[in-house]
Structure 1
Amino acid sequence: MSLRYELIVWDWDGTLMDSTPTIVRCIQDACRDLALPVPEDSVASHVIGLGIQESLRKACPTVSVDDHYKLIDRFRFHYLSKDHELSLFEGAKDLLYQLKDRGHLLAVATGKSRKGLDRSLGFHRLEDIFADSRTPDESKSKPHPGMLLDLSDALLVPMEKILMIGDTTHDLGMANAAGADAVGVTYGAHPEHVLKTENPLACVKNVQELSDWLAANA
């Protein structure tokens, strides 16, 4: 069977992992710890998907250089105290196995750290489902196309055979910059009208709708 997309690349937080509300709270709690202005939910959620340094700098633009690294430490403290409570979106794990069984290669391109991604992959027993992954620790942060370019080279899949799936304009912008197709999911950090500014092939409202779209189009 000929596959339209040989490689399907997934964002992690807000796309596979139901973590957006937790990340928002951790950003806000980290700011409170340092008596910094606390960003509103919409601001804190908008930066999800970027690398941690860039996301916290955008969420807290008044932070000083010295306090920026303290802010990162406080965010990590709060997140590490909660990440064991996080779960995959319902149906996400089954969908990944279905796609792999159909012959698709699967990969991850995330704003998480390498350590954080590996910890989450291990906790959810998904180490063997993905052919490769990229984080800002070894590539450029989204929306730079670096992660997709790296995965294309490493897995020998041309960009026209790659589909990116993500919940933010950072994910979709990365795909546009790399020349890959993309699908947006509206159950994560960015709402549908924002995702559509990056012209994805589709925007889906839940994992089942995503599964149906992939069955018909991938």
Structure 2
Amino acid sequence: MEQELRYNTVIFDFDGTISYSLGMSVASRKALLNEYGLDKSEAQIEKEFRSLELSEELSTLFGRHLESEEFIEIKKRYLEIQKEKENDHLSLFPGMIEMMTELKHRNIKIGIVTNRLREAFNRHLHFYKLEDFFDFTFTPSEFIVSKPSPVPLNYTLNQIGIIDDAGKRKVLYVGDDEADIKCGQSANIDTALVPHSRHLHDLDIKPTYVLKTVTDVISLCCPTNKIEQSQESKLK
């Protein structure tokens, strides 16, 4: 008899969840500041790092609001620097590919909703040789508004044919920071925080699940492989 699934679709964030790209982002921001005659330590840049709209991220980096023309110029140079540095700073978090491969074997759809722009995201997929791995991928190039807005997930759900609450109850969104959890909750779907999150202890908003290991995703999807729904793992 076919196994009943608690979740039949798992959507993942990319950076900080599947791909370790923080080193690339920090090194790129440090180099960008240096080009503009500014200086911050890598530790300070990392401390300030959040997954936000790029305009907000760069304004925080420069310590002031960036006007439209200036932002376009700085954004262009920042993305160029990232491209120069990415091959030396990208790596996959341990166990993620094995876990997602197991989900695929169990006929669970897997996809990506990321704040990374399409061109860079596609390069990173190519770097990891994951171009054909996911059932669907969506970036701000398609949905315009970035997380933590619910628009990215609502757009994605509509595109993959999930349009009612019954369908949403079968979807799990897995991420690493507050923007992911807020996005999932606002879209009315369950959320899970990866165990390698930098924000395990400083989130203002609680996910449905805090994963102890990445393989817990399999157990959440498949009730016959249950993880304990303790206070530590399920916060709903």
User: Could you state the TM-score of these two structures normalised by the residue count of structure 1?
Assistant: 0.87
Q: Is the 8 A contact 2:99 2:214 kept in 1?
A: no
The one of 163, 181, 188 aligned to 2:172:
163
Q: Is the 8 A contact 1:9 1:106 kept in 2?
A: yes
Q: Is the 8 A contact 1:105 1:131 kept in 2?
A: yes
Which moved further from structure 2: 120-129 or 173-182?
120-129
Count of aligned pairs between the two proteins: 212
Matched, 1:23 2:25: yes
Q: CA offset at residue 39 of structure 1?
A: 7.1
Percent identity over the alignment is 25
What amino acid does structure 2 have at the position aligned with 1:204?
L
Matched, 1:81 2:76: no
Coordinate RMSD, CA, aligned: 2.1
In structure 2, distance between residues paired with 1:167 and 1:45: 15
The one of 198, 201, 206 aligned to 1:199:
206
Q: Is the 8 A contact 1:165 1:182 kept in 2?
A: yes
What amino acid does structure 2 have at the position aligned with 1:166?
G
Matched, 1:142 2:147: yes
In structure 1, distance between residues paired with 2:107 and 2:116: 27
3-state SS of 2:129 partner: coil
In structure 2, distance between residues paired with 1:115 and 1:26: 17
Instruction: Give the structure 2 partner of residue 214 of structure 1.
Output: 217
3-state SS of 2:126 partner: helix
Matched, 1:8 2:10: yes
In structure 1, distance between residues paired with 2:179 and 2:48: 9
Instruction: Give the structure 2 partner of residue 60 of structure 1.
Output: 62
The one of 130, 135, 138 aligned to 1:131:
135
In structure 2, distance between residues paired with 1:115 and 1:81: 14
Instruction: Give the structure 2 partner of residue 51 of structure 1.
Output: 53
Q: Specify whether residues 45 and 151 from structure 1 end up closer, same or farther in structure 2 by C-alpha distance, changes over 3 A only.
A: farther
Which moved further from structure 2: 85-94 or 164-173?
85-94
Q: Is the 8 A contact 1:52 1:112 kept in 2?
A: no
In structure 1, distance between residues paired with 2:114 and 2:126: 16
User: Could you state the TM-score of these two structures normalised by the residue count of structure 2?
Assistant: 0.81
Q: Deviations over 1:164-190 (max 9, x none)?
A: 1111101111001101111112424x3
Instruction: Give the structure 2 partner of residue 92 of structure 1.
Output: 96
Q: CA offset at residue 71 of structure 1?
A: 2.3
